[in-house]
Structure 1
Amino acid sequence: MSEHILVVEDDPTVRSFIEEYLGSQGYRMSGARDGTTMRHIFGKQDVDLVILDLMLPGEDGLELAREIRSESDVPIIMVTGRADIVDRVVGLEIGADDYIPKPFEARELLARVRSVLRRSQRSGNLHHEMKAGQNTATFAGWRLDMGRRQLYAPAGEEIKLTSAEFDLLAAFISNPDKVLSRDRLLDLVYGREMFPFERSIDVLVMRLRGKIEEDRANPIFIKTVRGSGYVFTPEVKIQ
């Protein structure tokens, strides 16, 4: 069955254009003009990707992205007519997987949709491969269940990770005490496919630090190596 894409866009002309174009490419499409309609669709159907406009009446796209990410790791592509880089950073901090400014060409949107869905599919395949081995990695009291893609804090509570955050942590755990450049991390996390902009890895590292570091402004696990990249410092044991 083809992937199901939900377009959350208050402009009916833009929403119809995206639905018709991506629908002609073989995707199953649903449209929502606001958060209420979006929730209704989520409650009735599985969604594989959300294309989410930033500037919505009432609840804006950032609020809805926070809500989606608190409940699901479904991929999100944020769309906006504003080109402010702050919006891009905030969107990625919340957990968006990609970001495309208006106006955009249909072919660019399609390329980004395909890229995000491929990354999501690759992440799912990696999940099944890891599950077969039932590997568990531990570091400084933390436990990462590779098979179930679940992270547990030293006190035992589960810490929710998006697919990208899990892939980044898995990349660090697989390369402890090695300086990984941003380009190398892009390879490991995104597979060198299309990514939002050059600060993607920095924002993703900041998100992951916010979940595993006591003080993400003074990290002890994920250290910045100025001019080179990042290094994961704790001792890692894999069972």
Structure 2
Amino acid sequence: MNNNREVIAVVDDDENIRNLIEAYLHKENFRTIGMGSAEEAWDLWRTDPPGMWVLDIMLPGMDGYELCRRIRDEAEVPIIMISAKDNEVDKILGLELGSDDYLVKPFSPRELVARVKRQLKRWERMQKSNTETALPASAGLELGGLLLLPEERRSFWQGEEMELTSKEFLILTVFAGHPNRAFTREELLAYVWGDDYFGSDRAVDHLIKRIRKKMDGLPLESVWGHGYRMREVQG
């Protein structure tokens, strides 16, 4: 069992900021692990991943963007990015790479704690609802070479079992449950991330890109100016 599931990892190369964040989280009875580099954080992810990340962007060596991308390519876990960069482009990039929130330095530690609580509650609701809003009542979903078994939380592409994150699995159940239907990005955000999602709808594009990389040949099409659909391939 992963003992770090309820731990918040705080990654910032400024020890004073890191200690301040951890102190405020401790006041709210959160457990934390503080780290000064993305490389150290990546080692933690590979060995005993925490349940949430507070992640600075400007780090020595690997930056926070790359660490966020690596984590999000493997799993779904709440990520709040913090940075002295207040440019809108930087915020959008962080959100597109998969962060759930973005906070600009200097910030109030109380505000960060409030955002941590909000993200944890949102993720808890998302995990509880999981596939309920997207799936018809059936033992499984099959579309072409794609087979999804929601009760077992297993997925197969062309006979090969695939490792998918929670969001990857959920968005595929949306498509497989409604073949040939075109969904807007806003609809997919509501299904998968929930109505209270803070970030950009480009998060959908990033998720689709990851799925296509894992499932080469999947008939998941872009609908220009609208969103995405999965074709029901005949024959």
- TM-score scaled to structure 2, two decimals? 0.75
Alignment pair present for 1:9 and 2:3: no
Deviates more, 1:13-22 or 1:114-123: 114-123
Alignment pair present for 1:138 and 2:145: no
Secondary structure of 1:77's aligned partner: strand
CA distance in structure 1 between the partners assigned to 2:224 and 2:59 by the alignment:
40
Structure 2 gap ranges (5+): none
Superposition deviation, residue 25 in structure 1: 2.7
Secondary structure of 1:144's aligned partner: strand
CA RMSD of aligned residues (A): 3.5
Partner of 2:178: 175
Partner of 2:24: 21
How many residues were matched structurally? 226
Relative to structure 1, is the Cα distance of residues 170 and 188 closer, same or farther in structure 2, using a 3 angstrom cutoff? same
CA distance in structure 1 between the partners assigned to 2:158 and 2:169 by the alignment:
17
Q: Which amino acid aligns with 1:180?
A: F
Alignment pair present for 1:156 and 2:160: yes
Q: Which amino acid aligns with 2:221?
A: I
Q: Which amino acid aligns with 1:30?
A: I
CA distance in structure 2 between the partners assigned to 1:199 and 1:107 by the alignment:
29
Secondary structure of 1:192's aligned partner: coil
Structure 1 gap ranges (5+): none
Partner of 1:98: 100
Partner of 1:232: 230
Secondary structure of 2:160's aligned partner: coil
Contact map agreement 2:12 2:18 (CA 8 A) in 1: yes
Contact map agreement 1:93 1:204 (CA 8 A) in 2: no
1:60 alignment partner, one of 55, 60, 63: 63
Contact map agreement 1:127 1:146 (CA 8 A) in 2: no
Contact map agreement 2:96 2:202 (CA 8 A) in 1: no
Secondary structure of 1:23's aligned partner: helix
Secondary structure of 1:20's aligned partner: helix
1:206 alignment partner, one of 192, 209, 230: 209
Partner of 2:221: 222
Relative to structure 1, is the Cα distance of residues 189 and 114 closer, same or farther in structure 2, using a 3 angstrom cutoff? farther
CA distance in structure 2 between the partners assigned to 1:42 and 1:223 by the alignment:
33
Percent of residue pairs identical: 33
Contact map agreement 1:127 1:147 (CA 8 A) in 2: no
**CA deviations over 1:147-199 (Å, ceiling 9, x no partner):** 343332215142x3222222222222233333323332222112211322343
**CA deviations over 1:177-226 (Å, ceiling 9, x no partner):** 33323332222112211322343333333333333353xxxx84233152
Contact map agreement 1:92 1:203 (CA 8 A) in 2: no
Superposition deviation, residue 92 in structure 1: 5.1
- TM-score scaled to structure 1, two decimals? 0.74
- Counterparts in 2 of 1:54-133, with a 5 A limit? 54-69=57-72, 72-83=75-86, 87=90, 91=94, 94=97, 96-103=98-105, 104-106=107-109, 108-126=111-129
